[in-house]
Structure 1
Amino acid sequence: MQNVSTQNLFTGSTKLTNTDARNHNLKAISAVKNSIMTSFGALGLDKMCIDSTGEVLITNDGATIIQTMDIVDPAAKILAEIAMQQDIEVGDGTTTVVLLAASLIEKGIKLINQGLHPSVIVNGYKMVYKEALNFIKNTMEQDSKNIKSIIETTISSKVINVEKELFGDILYNAVKNIEDVDFNGNNIYRIENINILKKQGGSIADSNLINGYAINALPSNLMVKKVEKPKIICIDFDLNKVRLPLGVNVTVSDPDKLEEIRKKETTLTLERVDKIIKSGATVVLSSRGIDDICAKPFVDAGMIAIKRVDASELKALAKGLDIPIVTSLSDLEGKDVINTIGNADSIVIESIGDSECTVVYASEKKLSSIILRGPNEQVIEEMDRSVHDGLCVIKRVMETGKVLPGGGAFESSLAIHLEELSTTISSKEGVVVFYFSEALLEIPRILMQNAGLDSNELLSKLLFYHQEGKKKKEKDHYLFGIDLYTGEIQNNIANGIIEPSLVKIKALRSAVEAAISILRIDEIIYVPEEKKEERPQC
């Protein structure tokens, strides 16, 4: 039988094997790491991203920076994906997970180049992850007592940090307003019930919280500006003049018949409006259009009808009011009419600076709105991202109730623990554990560098402090990290530099999984696109 080589199997393909493949992946990983490294931490710098249309984006959010990058390399895409997933699942730690994954990959490739087999490294990384979880659960994890300190830590590197006390109150109260209980009696927080409304103008300090649901849409000027105890219906169909379908023609011999058709179109439209009015609703919110001919009956009935409500806002409001979005008038007829109408305390048209918005107040429902004000679009968009991160972190902390010290305390404490553990392991995995501890130290090192501190000197002092604390069996030595503003070693839990344990655990897990995926690759095969045969023209 004739032997078929890999090269023959993939005709026209190109391959990178072993060292070349790993160096290629390492180069791509390092490029992503270096692009976001200086934006990490409370004193990290911002990036200005400009797209092909000239649109400017200024941010230091890791997930946002990576999302704007045109990443084509498969290895680099893995880092981008774990950053996106971290942002979706936790809302914070997106830069941390990329930096940690990149450091683990760099250390792993260094070990492979020194002759260690990838399988040994993979087993070692898995073992370290399990040990790290035990260390977190049994030693480091603390009960959350000061939620606002966690918020301040989360937004410390964000644009809203200039008003950290204001936003600490806004974010905490916004999440507290939507507190609910699930079937098992556990507190849950549906942050999708918090609407973030962006209004350009004013300063960051003009931002505020509304204990209701704010909609960025307004009724007609002829309609009332306030309705007490409104009966609200949310619809997803047009209230426009009924017209014949496209392609349908009507032939009439008598001109009067044509006028009758036009009157019938108007009558059918007004009948639909009349059904809504008779259903008992006093407020109509539609994601579609409402003709002027339909608006007049609503005005005469003293109702509020708002068209072109953003679909996501309408969906969130309907969910908050526990009503469905009506897609057909048949939902308004019969016994189901009560289930389609929501109750609230009031609906009011309120002024925000030079503009207005509609606010639905419902004290019995779990609704909140955050109004963001800022001098320009770039600042407001960055504020929006910062607020989203803050809300996600508060939700996780309030649901789990567990936190870890920030400021490099967690990584340095875990690194010391793993370094000691590596000396007790006689197998090759012991070297892997040691290198893992070295990778962890990249986090506090970069934090210090971005703060303009001497990272070598301070990191040595911090590690020495942990080592001495362990020798003296001090119970709280692992809570000590660096104050990036003063360069002093301090108890970061006591000083309010706190992070949710879930953020660190998820980042650690994702970083280990990404590193294992990359380190297992020993060959890259580029298969060209199959050429289509051109058919001869007849």
Structure 2
Amino acid sequence: MAKTGPIIVLDPGKERTKGNEALFMNINAAKAVAGLVQSTLGPKGMDKMLINKMGQVSMTNDGVNILKDIGIEHPAAKMVVEVARSVESTAGDGTTSSVILSAALLDKAEKLVRKGIHPSAIVKGYRIAETKALELLENSAIDVAKGDRADILKKVAMTSITGKAPDVHKEFLADLCVKAAEIVEEDGFVDVRTKIIRVVELQRRIDESEVIEGIALNTGALSRKAPKRIENPKIALLDTEIIANKTKANSVMVVSSPEERQKIIDGERNDLTAIAKKIVDTGATAVFSTKVVRGPVLEYLEKHDVFVSRPMEEKDIENVSYATGAKIIRNPKEITENDLGSADLLERDTRNGGGKTYIRGGHNSTVATIVVRGETLQHADSVDTALDDALWVIKSVIEDGKIVAGGGASEMAVALGLSAYAPKAGGYDQRVISAYADALEELPKTLIRNGGLDVIDLSLALRAEHTKNKNAGINVFTGKITDMLEAGVVDPYRVKANTIKAATEAAIMILRIDDMLRATVTREIPDAPASHMAATYNGMAPPQMNERR
């Protein structure tokens, strides 16, 4: 029989890692991601200093911002980050918890694999544990009645804000968030992305922040002559520069006298005035534009007491369009009365330089703006991030009507419930479900660790207290086990449920990978021409030996 050489199936240019080596590599990458954000969890979590390529410095303990800005390269680590971001998009909070839990699940899975349990058996057990954990979590959830929810919403917001903004202002900021959510709520649904707008104003105290039923814009009037207050304004929105009739491209205009030149200038001025008159004739009393309104147009509008804004960003003019019902016009010559929006009141504030413009009430009255004020940009940004998280947890409670005890209480309750359930499963499933329960306990342990407290003593004390009180959690400020409901520390059911789902999904995705093929990047260096060789002399051949003297 003829002998055959080795059969090469894979591209030799690819690196291959398979089996447990690939699995453990991916697990270590996920654990490294968790290590980046683990110390930020809880009210006593630490901050991270982020420095971008331009040298700008920001400090935050918000997990999603940290993961977004650090630039993760490892593919398995990216999978964990993407799954964690899904929690942010659906629940608005819980990103850090989901990353920590997924890393804990993978750490427990690694130990099981090293003991001879196949990853497929671990995946099966984790699915069983996930289903049971969600069942236990729902059983421990507390229903929130609509008539009694105002106080609960405030407590949920305060729990979310704690550790992200100055504690002295957390109650005030929580009230702002609750007020904004109640303004925009429609049929039990709160649209945080579209209907709640946040604008930042510097060199003001945090406790001067406010909620506007309508829109607040960081855009003042273009002229000091603009009216400061307009009741029932009719609003026109322009997304184009107002110019006279254009000539054809590459055309040349030749004038033979100053009078003819003046005639052309007067014609352009009349064209611009006609456009301004067209706007005024529609009944518009306020004009907002993304471009500068100048010259005869501005003069005519001022003469007729029309408010004209400074140039705005596109997102701002879209917000005004949504709130007032005004259509964004790109050809002002075609504007009609039907294109105008309406509001109850337009006011301008001339403090702090350019000032602000407030549009209250209007066509779509279910729009609210939170004016976030702070002494510095860093202060204002930290408050803005805290308000974003608080708004999302309020949204979750309003829409789901369920809360759970915070401070690690819900995680410990689910973990103990799983530990009691595991023996009923039997076989490998028992060991895997027990490992899942141990991973859940990593969240309250992280809270204890970040609070600078004794992890072993408080963990044991929390376990013992849970035999009597399912709402017992860690008060990191006192270092004692406390009833979290009585302390007012509560979390939305949605955040905790999505954390369990996302972390389990991320862990299972990585456990199912047993082979990694990576294309190697090779750079071909072209041969340098002879004129660029090191042995040449400015492009000339070196002198020969027999030519030297």
Fold match, TM over 0.5?
Answer: yes
**Which digits, 9 at most, give the CA deviation of each residue in 1:329-387, with x for residues without a partner?**
46524xxx32x222212111125556620001116712322222222212211211111
The 5 A counterparts of 1:203-242 are: 203-219=205-221, 220-242=223-245
Deviation at 1:229, TM superposition (A): 1.3
Residue in structure 1 matched with residue 38 of structure 2 by the alignment: 37
Residue in structure 2 matched with residue 304 of structure 1 by the alignment: 307
In the alignment, does 2:59 pair up with 1:78? Answer: no
Letter in 1 for 2:409: A
Structure 1 CA distance for aligned equivalents of residues 269 and 86 of structure 2: 51
Deviation at 1:483, TM superposition (A): 1.5
Instruction: Compare 43-52 and 135-144 and name the one that shifted more.
Output: 135-144
Letter in 2 for 1:521: I
**Which digits, 9 at most, give the CA deviation of each residue in 1:216-263, with x for residues without a partner?**
111122222221111112222222455446x42224364455544443
Residue in structure 1 matched with residue 442 of structure 2 by the alignment: 442
Aligned partners of 2:220 and 2:354 also within 8 Å:
no
Q: Structure 1 residues 290, 351: closer, same or farther in 2, change over 3 A?
A: closer
Structure 1 unaligned regions, length at least 5: 470-476
Q: Secondary structure at the match of 2:224?
A: coil
Structure 1 CA distance for aligned equivalents of residues 386 and 206 of structure 2: 12
Deviation at 1:535, TM superposition (A): 13
Instruction: Compare 495-504 and 20-29 and name the one that shifted more.
Output: 20-29
Percent identity between matched residues is 28
Structure 1 CA distance for aligned equivalents of residues 277 and 524 of structure 2: 60
Residue in structure 2 matched with residue 395 of structure 1 by the alignment: 395
Q: Structure 1 residues 254, 479: closer, same or farther in 2, change over 3 A?
A: same
Residue in structure 2 matched with residue 286 of structure 1 by the alignment: 289
Q: Secondary structure at the match of 1:217?
A: coil
Q: Secondary structure at the match of 1:218?
A: coil
Deviation at 1:169, TM superposition (A): 1.2
Structure 2 CA distance for aligned equivalents of residues 479 and 330 of structure 1: 66
Larger radius of gyration: 2
The 5 A counterparts of 1:495-534 are: 495-529=487-521
Q: Secondary structure at the match of 1:9?
A: coil
Aligned partners of 1:481 and 1:490 also within 8 Å:
yes
Letter in 1 for 2:424: T
Number of aligned residue pairs: 519
Structure 2 CA distance for aligned equivalents of residues 269 and 33 of structure 1: 61
**Which digits, 9 at most, give the CA deviation of each residue in 1:490-517, with x for residues without a partner?**
2212321101111111111111111111
The 5 A counterparts of 1:91-490 are: 91-143=92-144, 145=149, 146-181=152-187, 186-219=188-221, 220-244=223-247, 247-252=249-254, 254-255=256-257, 258-329=261-332, 332-333=335-336, 337-338=337-338, 340-351=339-350, 356-362=355-361, 365-466=365-466, 468-469=467-468, 477-490=469-482
Q: Structure 1 residues 292, 217: closer, same or farther in 2, change over 3 A?
A: farther
Q: Structure 1 residues 120, 218: closer, same or farther in 2, change over 3 A?
A: same
Residue in structure 1 matched with residue 483 of structure 2 by the alignment: 491
Structure 2 CA distance for aligned equivalents of residues 353 and 406 of structure 1: 41
**Which digits, 9 at most, give the CA deviation of each residue in 1:104-123, with x for residues without a partner?**
11111221222111111111
Structure 1 CA distance for aligned equivalents of residues 295 and 393 of structure 2: 45
Residue in structure 1 matched with residue 546 of structure 2 by the alignment: none
Structure 2 CA distance for aligned equivalents of residues 253 and 377 of structure 1: 54
Structure 2 CA distance for aligned equivalents of residues 3 and 291 of structure 1: 81
Q: Structure 1 residues 455, 479: closer, same or farther in 2, change over 3 A?
A: same
Q: Structure 1 residues 362, 3: closer, same or farther in 2, change over 3 A?
A: farther
Instruction: Compare 46-55 and 131-140 and name the one that shifted more.
Output: 131-140
Q: Secondary structure at the match of 1:222?
A: coil
Q: Structure 1 residues 346, 382: closer, same or farther in 2, change over 3 A?
A: same
Q: Structure 1 residues 330, 124: closer, same or farther in 2, change over 3 A?
A: farther
RMSD: 2.5
Letter in 1 for 2:426: S
Structure 1 CA distance for aligned equivalents of residues 40 and 105 of structure 2: 20
**Which digits, 9 at most, give the CA deviation of each residue in 1:167-186, with x for residues without a partner?**
111111111122223xxxx4
Q: With structure 2 as the length reference, what TM-score do the two structures score?
A: 0.88
Letter in 2 for 1:285: F
Q: Secondary structure at the match of 2:235?
A: strand
Aligned partners of 1:240 and 1:289 also within 8 Å:
no
Deviation at 1:132, TM superposition (A): 1.7
Letter in 2 for 1:196: R
Residue in structure 2 matched with residue 474 of structure 1 by the alignment: none
Structure 1 CA distance for aligned equivalents of residues 351 and 314 of structure 2: 22
Structure 2 CA distance for aligned equivalents of residues 24 and 375 of structure 1: 46
Structure 2 CA distance for aligned equivalents of residues 385 and 188 of structure 1: 18
Residue in structure 1 matched with residue 10 of structure 2 by the alignment: 9
Q: Secondary structure at the match of 1:387?
A: helix
Q: Structure 1 residues 138, 330: closer, same or farther in 2, change over 3 A?
A: farther
Aligned partners of 2:38 and 2:446 also within 8 Å:
yes
Letter in 2 for 1:69: I
Structure 1 CA distance for aligned equivalents of residues 205 and 276 of structure 2: 42
Q: Structure 1 residues 496, 296: closer, same or farther in 2, change over 3 A?
A: same
Deviation at 1:126, TM superposition (A): 1.4
Q: Secondary structure at the match of 1:132?
A: helix
Letter in 1 for 2:396: R
Q: With structure 1 as the length reference, what TM-score do the two structures score?
A: 0.90
Deviation at 1:530, TM superposition (A): 7.4
Q: Structure 1 residues 356, 461: closer, same or farther in 2, change over 3 A?
A: same
Q: Secondary structure at the match of 2:427?
A: coil
Instruction: Compare 382-391 and 528-537 and name the one that shifted more.
Output: 528-537
